[in-house]
Structure 1
């Protein structure tokens, strides 16, 4: 029995790791890759059945091919936590296109030449070595690919020196097969970017079986799913199938489910109380401090409404308390606010009907009265934390 529990725990830990990091390499994540390889058959079958995701496991890497991200998904981040700039993101795409043509033992010079040619073919005026800003953006893309295991520096710190201009070139090892698999949805004929993205993503399928899979993907990938944000058809599916989805995802990921009138959140057992918002790094710690401060002063209304206005003075006071002093304070402020919005805890002004910041219902779990809520099963009510409204099993009115 103990062995069965340990086996299940290992499989679920591997599944959670793949969901967070869908490209695992022997270079960058040797232990995680070994765990995935040990349970590859189970993982391949479960990901395909529960989420409709394909998992490819090779000797030196694993790739979970997920659905396209939602339209408002944050861009890839650098190691510092800052998002890649649009230019660096363009170089990321161009480099992925160029790498399969590069030798296994290569360098920034050869990769830059092939990226320059790929850019010209695409009608882009991108030259990785034309000036310092281009070099930095190109190097940021290379470092991002190195974090995936697609590239490896022959000498530690070579890419940082190359980006700073203190080194004319950096020797690299390239994995062409990993580069080919890095793209979940390889380019194909489409009339434009919008059509290409929509071909990889259907948030509201007409068929009920496909709709359930799309719903489980949403629950697995988003920190919080608010009912009012869903299309009407998916809102109905959530009302009918949320407990079945919770059971399927719980078996795959070892997660628990919080169900409220406002929506649903999955809580993963990663040993942190801050399950929705892991407090790692300066950005994570500041985000936790900020949301805790706001939740202690601004509480969402005790109705199924999902938001409460945050007075500007309160936001500024809590930001002052949460952010450390330093030259990067302004950039950190923007990243922290963006992180809380992405976690479904805060909503930014939109310049239209919503003029100010709003604290969303899920933030109540970080307040002084917020308690972790466990999935007690479909026949037992789920208590609502202070200020989040009535508990709900199936619909916005609170009925099951």
Structure 2
């Protein structure tokens, strides 16, 4: 698709510069561009850059040429990363004395956010930023016939003891395991970074007769494992910096950037941009109703439409802001650019916290009233955040639709890579046909690329992550809410799933009274925190929300819930003839066959 402008008359420029600091959407989606005021020469160009080489970001192009870095360079090259571009170079940032002027495209996006409902705002964030993490189920079940239903297949929860997870720190993914067969952690020598927790989910196999691409256990290089670790890191964290919490994985991304760029483009239609100091995987949207909401990086509170609007408004000003920006000046510029978008302090604080977590902003003021506090702005990262521009979209709904457009093969593979399970019944006819035709080869290619395991069932396909790392939500998981949700879903499955001989056609309705009764039993039988004991409504809301986000239940227009087939994999045991319960909402005893009833009457 042609590169488009955010606003008529604005100069077109990729999100970044010809030194690799570029951005854009993936193949089949609109390239991300920023509308830049003309200032003598087009932004994004340098005196020695030539048209076509620096700004050609047509689909499939590879704009991420990096200085002193090739596909086969030794990434001890992290110690030789180029110096950051000096302030006031070819980018021509605004100086401290100039008034901040907002980017028109991002300003338009801010208004769309402000007018959206909460669900639509989440969809719009997914479509315009594409910074959501992948989400996968774990705990694989025993192998089974691919034609068997999830309702009647082997379970994962009954045969698998929930694994205790390490305490998560601010560093995110666990570092690679350092056993005898694991890849050693490579630290970036460019900037100090804290270790991540990313690792390959399965153990590396013994390497007798290994191919030329690997070495023995004492060697330092295992390219296949490195590539998989880098790919998983990018899919879990689409924006990785050389000084951020996942800095340990950044040298691997730089080392294998050409291979990763080709594979992400071929399999998923995503553009990967690797610069000297950051890597950006530009994901596509997931379509209406399939959003990943943005959350406060510290509290986990979901963003509101007003919070999203403040985020887009701040970005609109930061893409051209000076590196040192007084906090009060930013607030004044936001009010002047869109006085009708004034929001509560909590919404503004949430937006700035997200920008700080992406390293677009440095340290934030401890006192929101401290207008003299000087913010450190990284314009390069600010320009890397947008992934889908509203250039051609008529409104928010049109942008959400456009961002998810893709050919059937690419669209299905994106769902497999990003979502817990793909059910054929949820797909349009063309995508369902592709999945039926490539039921084995399609998921297998992604599973090999990302180190996942394929689970085929009659209703669809799930790519599983036994390490529970390539996901932002885990089940089984630690914490009261995850444990309560697991107990809830396993008991709901016991009560309502179809039995052998019964028709198993997709989702099964759940009575609200049954949900309340099961949660009451769980509350009585297990020691829950005081706030859940005092507020059963909060427990219900949070547990159902978690199961919904994992794709195990889905709401109906009448505000009731449906249990989805993949939920049956969490049944506690493969007992398809449970003893009838005694509660009001328990499954009634199976009536005796007609012959037995006739004998009883005689």
TM-score, normalized by length of structure 2?
A: 0.53
Report if aligned partners of 2:326, 2:371 keep a CA contact under 8 Å in 1.
no
SS of aligned partner of 1:78: coil
- Deviation of the 1:280 alpha carbon: 5.5
- For structure 1, the residue ranges without an aligned partner over 5 or more in a row are 129-133, 371-384, 388-400
CA separation of 1:30 and 1:110: change in aligned 2, threshold 3 A:
farther
The corresponding residue for 1:43 is 260
The corresponding residue for 1:141 is 351
Report if aligned partners of 1:28, 1:149 keep a CA contact under 8 Å in 2.
no
2:445 matched to 1:241? no
2:342 matched to 1:127? yes
CA separation of 1:262 and 1:277: change in aligned 2, threshold 3 A:
same
Report if aligned partners of 1:254, 1:269 keep a CA contact under 8 Å in 2.
no
- Deviation of the 1:271 alpha carbon: 5.1
Q: Deviations over 1:95-120 (max 9, x none)?
A: 11111122212243222223223325
- Map 1:349-360 onto structure 2 (within 5 A): 349-351=556-558, 356-360=560-564
2:274 matched to 1:69? no
Report if aligned partners of 2:329, 2:371 keep a CA contact under 8 Å in 1.
no
- Map 1:9-20 onto structure 2 (within 5 A): 9-20=225-236
CA separation of 1:190 and 1:349: change in aligned 2, threshold 3 A:
closer
- Deviation of the 1:190 alpha carbon: 3.0
Q: Deviations over 1:110-155 (max 9, x none)?
A: 22223223325xxxx1235xxxxx221011011112222222216x
Q: 1:311 aligns with which of 490, 493, 511?
A: 511
Q: 1:194 aligns with which of 373, 390, 397?
A: 397
Report if aligned partners of 1:102, 1:110 keep a CA contact under 8 Å in 2.
no
CA distance in 2 between partners of 1:269 and 1:9 (Å): 17
- For structure 2, the residue ranges without an aligned partner over 5 or more in a row are 1-206, 216-221, 578-602
- Deviation of the 1:212 alpha carbon: 0.8
SS of aligned partner of 1:101: coil
The corresponding residue for 1:181 is 384
The corresponding residue for 1:299 is 497
Instruction: State which drifts further: 176-185 or 260-269.
Output: 260-269
The corresponding residue for 2:488 is 290
The corresponding residue for 1:232 is 429
CA separation of 1:13 and 1:269: change in aligned 2, threshold 3 A:
farther
- Deviation of the 1:278 alpha carbon: 6.2
CA distance in 2 between partners of 1:172 and 1:289 (Å): 46
CA separation of 1:60 and 1:272: change in aligned 2, threshold 3 A:
closer
CA distance in 1 between partners of 2:350 and 2:542 (Å): 18
Q: Deviations over 1:34-55 (max 9, x none)?
A: 3322332221111011111001
Instruction: State which drifts further: 141-150 or 104-113.
Output: 104-113
Q: 1:150 aligns with which of 336, 353, 360?
A: 360
2:571 matched to 1:361? no
Report if aligned partners of 1:153, 1:170 keep a CA contact under 8 Å in 2.
no
Report if aligned partners of 1:277, 1:288 keep a CA contact under 8 Å in 2.
yes
CA distance in 1 between partners of 2:267 and 2:251 (Å): 23
CA separation of 1:300 and 1:28: change in aligned 2, threshold 3 A:
farther
Instruction: Select the structure that is richer in helix.
Output: 1
CA distance in 2 between partners of 1:343 and 1:290 (Å): 14
RMSD: 3.0
CA distance in 2 between partners of 1:143 and 1:221 (Å): 25
- Map 1:315-326 onto structure 2 (within 5 A): 315-320=515-520, 321=522, 324-326=529-531
Report if aligned partners of 2:235, 2:470 keep a CA contact under 8 Å in 1.
no
Report if aligned partners of 1:253, 1:268 keep a CA contact under 8 Å in 2.
no
TM-score, normalized by length of structure 1?
A: 0.77
Report if aligned partners of 1:151, 1:174 keep a CA contact under 8 Å in 2.
yes
- Deviation of the 1:317 alpha carbon: 3.6
SS of aligned partner of 1:153: coil
CA distance in 2 between partners of 1:240 and 1:7 (Å): 32
- Deviation of the 1:56 alpha carbon: 0.8
CA distance in 1 between partners of 2:517 and 2:273 (Å): 48
Higher gyration radius (CA): 2
2:320 matched to 1:101? yes
CA distance in 2 between partners of 1:30 and 1:178 (Å): 15
CA separation of 1:249 and 1:87: change in aligned 2, threshold 3 A:
same
CA distance in 2 between partners of 1:337 and 1:28 (Å): 31
- Deviation of the 1:263 alpha carbon: 1.4
CA separation of 1:110 and 1:386: change in aligned 2, threshold 3 A:
farther
Instruction: State which drifts further: 338-347 or 312-321.
Output: 312-321
